[in-house]
Structure 1
Amino acid sequence: MRMSRNSPGLLNLMYVPVLLLFSLFIYYPFIQGIRVSFTNWDGFNANYSWIGLDNYVRMLHDKNIGTVIRNTLIYGVGSTFFQNAIGLMYALLLNQSIRTRGLTRTIVYLPAIVSPLIMGYIWYFFFQFRGGALNDIVLLFAEKPINLLANPDANVWIIMAVNTFQFVGVAMIIFLAGLQSISKDYYEASSIDGAGPVSKFLNVTLPLLAPSITINIVLNLIGGLKLFDVIIALTKGGPGYASQSLSTLMYKTYFGAQDAGYAAALGNLMFLMIAIISVAALLFLRRKEIQS
């Protein structure tokens, strides 16, 4: 008996190619990464030994891991906060009937289509110590240039700001979609009740934007916590470990130190951080959506 095109059996078979691709490119490398983290493999030779939890014990005693985790959280949480705050302001402004709003939306979103590595190099030419655009301006008023990218107190925040600048347009677009799905009847009803602009925003706009807020926060957290390209372009993680994230440290450990086992352990730590933080944020925000 032939199956019809809409039969559940045929539809389920259509999942098979996707599952095979996921198994090949996602599940298999993930399992291999866990396995490698229990070895002293250098990433190149066929010979290696099982060393148990030594890489994870080494991680606990690594004096630089605290700085790296702090930087990773700044890139993730900091970018998420500013992308959502600025993106929401842009969306509220550009949802109004103003001239050139289409052009302005395009300009704000445009950086998101640029490669993050290219965006990092663009800003590197602005901040670089010798010949950078910023120092060209500084030298008009001071005798010495400033080297912000080599300043451990500044470079992490510069990287976070560049990441925010690039992807704030994505947050804006998602918020705009949410705003345009809110019926004007809610605002008219609140006006009849005497609500002002602030009251409308807090009691109508924000609760109905909850799904858009959830999407933006979770996506921004995942993207920021695994930030790599911008860091490599601007500072390469330096000076020392001052601006390293878990992703750049993993790259440096694997290709620089040829220590694939420890790099895999760092990768597993990064996976756990992203999974725990993003899932916790998702569950919390979903609960808030229901309550609102």
Structure 2
Amino acid sequence: MYIPALVLFVIFIFFPFVEGIKISYTNWDGYNQDYSWVQWDNYRRMFSDPQILNVIQNTFIYGIGSTVLQNLMGLLYALLLNQSFRSKGITRTIIYLPVIISPLIMGYIWYFIFQYYGGALNDIILLFRDEPVNLLASPEINVWLITLVNTYQYLGIAMIIYLAGLQVIPKDYYEAAQIDGASKFSQFLHVTWPLLAPSVTINIVLNLIGGLKLFDVITSLTGGGPGYASASLSTLMYQLYFARQDAGYAAALGNLMFVIISVISITSLYLLRRKEVAH
């Protein structure tokens, strides 16, 4: 029964992965049949490229920043929506709704809000000052705007996972804590939080992987610019392959991104799983 899935895995994941490793040792332009082996040149070039450090830093901001914000806001929404009140079903739907929108479309929606000329946010700013603010062209701001947009789109997933975790916690635990005189905060700290450990693990690992490979929102909001100021490893790979026809170097960056995501996600999963066992 597992053979069809295994065949699909080999064709669409394992084979391209092996090909990517091979291409990273060549000077292939991505289109022509001819190429030559350059050994470790692409990797030497990568570690001496002055732009790479900034791009890796942006990648970590997207990954870690989105993870922190999505988990914090998702947990707060889950705690609120786990209470009994009217229209909580509609509220859950509204919060989850951005998840079903294409990330590329979501980026363009926010682009029309942040853009310099005619942007909704700048229309409000012009009520208080004479000049609009070029938010998307500012290297100090645009990386964080992208992180916030990614957080806004996917915090609904974190909320749903936390809600599922909250709803399987036995109410007997809270009743026992109340009898012992525990405050609401103490109940959260000593009952809710430890028992939410599996949900925390799932959310953190998924958010880290999604944030570290962020592509669509960056492309639609800034295109990685100005220059490479807001580029991630994903967008830089795209630009190298399609704009500069430098597939060998793009493959080397892809391998670097694979190593970064694998190390961070596996380490996080291991540490968080140990925390679950401890609880």
Q: CA RMSD in A?
A: 0.5
Q: How many angstroms does 1:272 deviate by?
A: 0.5
Q: How many angstroms does 1:133 deviate by?
A: 0.4
Aligned with residue 265 of structure 1, among 228, 243, 252:
252
Number of residue equivalences: 279
Inter-partner Cα distance in structure 2 for 1:146 and 1:192: 56
**Deviation by residue 1:114-156 (Cα, 9 ceiling, x = unmatched):** 0000000000000000010011111111110110000000000
Residue in structure 2 matched with residue 77 of structure 1 by the alignment: 64
Inter-partner Cα distance in structure 2 for 1:221 and 1:94: 24
Inter-partner Cα distance in structure 1 for 2:3 and 2:221: 42
Inter-partner Cα distance in structure 2 for 1:186 and 1:276: 37
Inter-partner Cα distance in structure 1 for 2:98 and 2:75: 17
**Deviation by residue 1:12-46 (Cα, 9 ceiling, x = unmatched):** xx111110000000000000000000000000011
TM-score, with structure 2 as normaliser: 0.99
Residue in structure 2 matched with residue 7 of structure 1 by the alignment: none
- Given residue 94 of structure 2, which amino acid in structure 1 is its aligned partner? I
Residue in structure 2 matched with residue 111 of structure 1 by the alignment: 98
Inter-partner Cα distance in structure 2 for 1:17 and 1:104: 41
Inter-partner Cα distance in structure 1 for 2:122 and 2:268: 40
Inter-partner Cα distance in structure 2 for 1:225 and 1:64: 17
Q: How many angstroms does 1:163 deviate by?
A: 0.1
- Given residue 43 of structure 1, which amino acid in structure 2 is its aligned partner? G
Residue in structure 1 matched with residue 44 of structure 2 by the alignment: 57
For structure 1, list consecutive stretches of 5 or more residues without a partner in the other structure. Answer: 1-13
Inter-partner Cα distance in structure 2 for 1:231 and 1:282: 27
Aligned with residue 128 of structure 1, among 106, 111, 115:
115
For residue 108 of structure 1, give the secondary structure of its aligned residue in structure 2: helix
Residue pairs, 1:238-277, within 5 angstroms: 238-277=225-264
Inter-partner Cα distance in structure 1 for 2:124 and 2:177: 50
Residue in structure 2 matched with residue 220 of structure 1 by the alignment: 207
Bigger radius of gyration, 1 or 2? 1
Residue in structure 2 matched with residue 88 of structure 1 by the alignment: 75
Residue in structure 2 matched with residue 280 of structure 1 by the alignment: 267
- Larger CA deviation: 234-243 vs 189-198: 189-198
Aligned with residue 23 of structure 2, among 36, 39, 42:
36
Inter-partner Cα distance in structure 2 for 1:142 and 1:47: 57
Inter-partner Cα distance in structure 1 for 2:171 and 2:126: 53
- Given residue 169 of structure 2, which amino acid in structure 1 is its aligned partner? I
Question: Could you tell me the percent identity over the aligned residues?
Answer: 68
Residue in structure 2 matched with residue 171 of structure 1 by the alignment: 158
Inter-partner Cα distance in structure 2 for 1:18 and 1:128: 44
Residue in structure 2 matched with residue 19 of structure 1 by the alignment: 6
Inter-partner Cα distance in structure 2 for 1:210 and 1:105: 22
For residue 64 of structure 1, give the secondary structure of its aligned residue in structure 2: helix
Aligned with residue 161 of structure 1, among 142, 145, 148:
148
Aligned with residue 204 of structure 1, among 191, 209, 214:
191
For structure 2, list consecutive stretches of 5 or more residues without a partner in the other structure. Answer: none
**Over 6 Å off, 4+ runs:** none
Residue in structure 1 matched with residue 137 of structure 2 by the alignment: 150
TM-score, with structure 1 as normaliser: 0.95
For residue 50 of structure 2, give the secondary structure of its aligned residue in structure 1: coil
**Deviation by residue 1:208-247 (Cα, 9 ceiling, x = unmatched):** 0000000000000000000000000000000011000000
